Amino acid sequence: MPDLWTDLLACMDLRLRPTAPQAGDDAPAPDPQATLSVFEGPNQQLEYHRLFGGQLLAQFLRAAVFACPDKTVKSVHVIFAREGKSDAPVYYVVQPQHRGRSFATLTIVARQKGDVIATALVSMTAMEEGRDSQEVAAPSPLPGPEHRIQIGLIPWETRSLTDLNDESVGPAEYDLWMRTPATGAELAPGLVAYATDLNVIGTVLRQIEGFEHSGNGTAFTSATTSHTLWFHRPFRSDDWLLLRHHGTVMAHGRAYGRGDVLTEDGTLVASFAQEALLRFRP
């Protein structure tokens, strides 16, 4: 089995499907008028048999860039319809809704074994110059190497001053610093999207004593239902980035949180928001 980093990079290398379906293949056939593109995405080789939502987020972004290479993603909104399985590839059916000189809009449907497992609305833009300003709190200094932590699905260096395994009540906030191994800037949006799917629920749970993020399946049931990212400026994932999480609300069996992604010098490069199912066991 490959290491998790190599495995994740391989998952981001989508394959354009041929113009006609192959024998014994369940991939959707591309549109004969070439309005659709279909990409095949491999799955991470994890110990459990479900697909991690971060993998789908990263692959949605890669499919969008492959289908519209003259633009970059400025926002993506993903609805997770059903649980994906690791024993079959995911096919990303890309449908352009609009293509102009400055902007493009795509809808992407992720299908597996004939079922829709997730859908995405992607907005893309051509880079242009303009005024530059922001109003966001500056990050605290990067924690030292003694604050390195291990997060199971993240195959790169992470640091934090907060322990999400702590079951005591605390502020519903979580600062996570991350830096990937050296890689191309074109992969940075997908890698950051992957990481943003991991800790929103755990941040929301900091509001409640006696619960922490690893209790899914025992103390509670949780699953991401929708996830949105906005990309404000270009960045690299192999430079230090701060993922600043805020657990905003928990109500009616759902949790919602949001966050920002900042460089070490405080430049806001992306923002994200997530809603999740969160049901507590009796």
Q: What would the pLDDT profile of 57-105 be if each residue is shown by its tens digit?
A: 999 999 999 999 999 999 999 999 999 999 999 999 999 999 899 999 9
* Backbone φ and ψ of 109, nearest 5°: -110, 125
Instruction: Write the pLDDT tens digit of every residue in 132-184.
Output: 999 999 999 999 999 999 998 999 999 999 999 888 889 999 999 999 999 99
Task: Find out whether 222 and 278 touch, Cβ atoms under 8 Å.
Answer: yes
Q: Residue 36 and residue 264: Cα distance in Å, rounded?
A: 40
Sign for the pseudo-dihedral over CA of 202, 240, 120, 16:
negative
Q: Give me the count of residues in the chain.
A: 282
Task: For residue 210, give both structure tokens.
Answer: 């006696």
